[in-house]
Amino acid sequence: MIVFEQPEYRNYMKYRLDQRRGTRSELAEYLGCQSGYISQVLQGLSDFSLEQGMKITQFLQLSEEESHFFMLLLQLEKASTQMLKDYFKLQIVQIKKQRDEIKNRIKVKSHLKAEDYHQYYSSWEYAALHILVSIPEFQQKEKIRKKLKLTNARLNEVLDFLLDKGLVEFKDDKYVIGSWRIHLPKDSPYILSHHQNWRLHTIRMLSDKNPLNLNYSGVFSLANADIQAIKEILLQSIEKTEKVIAPSPEEEMVYVGIDLNVF
């Protein structure tokens, strides 16, 4: 259970405290109160103080972002006027919207102009070559060409563009990835081309039957609340993937595509 998914702090606390026997007693000792008081709060008969709330975030080992959200939920419950409740509700909604934007979870910078984006996302080959040269084994022209199955003319066209924009550099007789990284926000006019490029390429790769590949398609009927829960799980998986990618040595080029579509 994720704290950002919860409409009130009690739901999250009940889940966390019920994961292991004796946790409620440990929390009561940590807060310096009786276990019965914690039960009263979780039943909605009372609320923790703000000071107790901060200690609870420490007890549950929440991150700074999670702690802030938990405290907003607590303050929402404790607010005694509708105006104050609306104030905290607005902050909660804003945080959820920010988390919904992948671009706010991943630090990205880019110097490309609009026409550069148009060319970069006109074909999967640009992104593929851009990333491929980060692997030491594929930093020579011939090896790049064979790996991506490009003609010499097409290889030169794509490579020249990437070199001109600083996305790829030529150093010590080899091609290496440049210092710039690209990420498109979901409202970009080029996002459709980007998704289409890689999904079409994935279809072509299905016949390869590479045991390392993972391809999954499923159609389900779900409650609206569960759709949001699955979406949050997938967004978290993207965050976790980024943390694995950053320190990982460059050995293979991998494409990851995630889709959750509501009809």
Domains of the chain, residue spans = 3-100, 114-245
What integer pLDDT is reported at residue 93 of this predicted model? 92
Q: Residue 93: count other Cβ atoms within 10 Å of its Cβ.
A: 10
Among 25-39, 85-99, 195-209, the minimum mean pLDDT is found in: 195-209
Q: Residue 27 pLDDT > 80, yes or no?
A: yes
What is the distance between the alpha carbons of residues 49 and 33, in angstroms, rounded to a whole number?
A: 12
What is the distance between the alpha carbons of residues 116 and 4, in angstroms, rounded to a whole number?
A: 37
Which residues contact residue 199 at a Cβ distance below 8 angstroms, ignoring those fewer than 6 apart? 257
What integer pLDDT is reported at residue 21 of this predicted model? 85
Q: Residue 103 pLDDT > 70, yes or no?
A: no
- Is the entire prediction scored with pTM above 0.75? no
Judge contact between 161 and 126, C-beta under 8 A.
Answer: yes
What integer pLDDT is reported at residue 1 of this predicted model? 56
User: Residue 176 — pLDDT band, cuts 50, 70, 90?
Assistant: very high
Which residues contact residue 81 at a Cβ distance below 8 angstroms, ignoring those fewer than 6 apart? none
CA 143 to chain centre: 32
Q: Residue 234: count other Cβ atoms within 10 Å of its Cβ.
A: 11
Average pLDDT over residues 199-216: 81
Average pLDDT over residues 101-107: 55
What is the distance between the alpha carbons of residues 224 and 150, in angstroms, rounded to a whole number?
A: 45
User: Residue 109 — pLDDT band, cuts 50, 70, 90?
Assistant: very low
User: Residue 181 — pLDDT band, cuts 50, 70, 90?
Assistant: low
Torsion of CA 222, 42, 100, 203, to 10 degrees: -40
| CA dist 151 → 142, 159, 188 (Å) | 10, 12, 30
What integer pLDDT is reported at residue 113 of this predicted model? 79
Higher model confidence: residue 152 or residue 73? 73
- State the Cα angle at 211 between 206 and 213, rounded to 5°: 55
User: Residue 262 — pLDDT band, cuts 50, 70, 90?
Assistant: confident
- State the Cα angle at 146 between 127 and 161, rounded to 5°: 35
What integer pLDDT is reported at residue 111 of this predicted model? 63
Among 119-128, 179-188, 213-222, the minimum mean pLDDT is found in: 179-188
Torsion of CA 163, 167, 168, 170, to 10 degrees: 60
Closest to 17 measured CA to CA, from 75, 50, 60: 60
Q: How many CA atoms lie within 13 A of 257 on its CB side?
A: 18
* Class of the CATH-defined domain 114-245: mainly alpha
Look over the chain and give the mean of its residue pLDDT values, rounded to a whole number: 86
Which residues contact residue 206 at a Cβ distance below 8 angstroms, ignoring those fewer than 6 apart? 215
Judge contact between 100 and 235, C-beta under 8 A.
Answer: yes
Among 102-106, 147-151, 241-245, the minimum mean pLDDT is found in: 102-106
Higher model confidence: residue 1 or residue 16? 16
Closest to 257 measured CA to CA, from 202, 175, 184: 202
What is the distance between the alpha carbons of residues 115 and 218, in angstroms, rounded to a whole number?
A: 37
The pairs formed by 243-250 with CB atoms below 8 angstroms and a separation of 24 or more are: 250/134, 250/135, 250/136
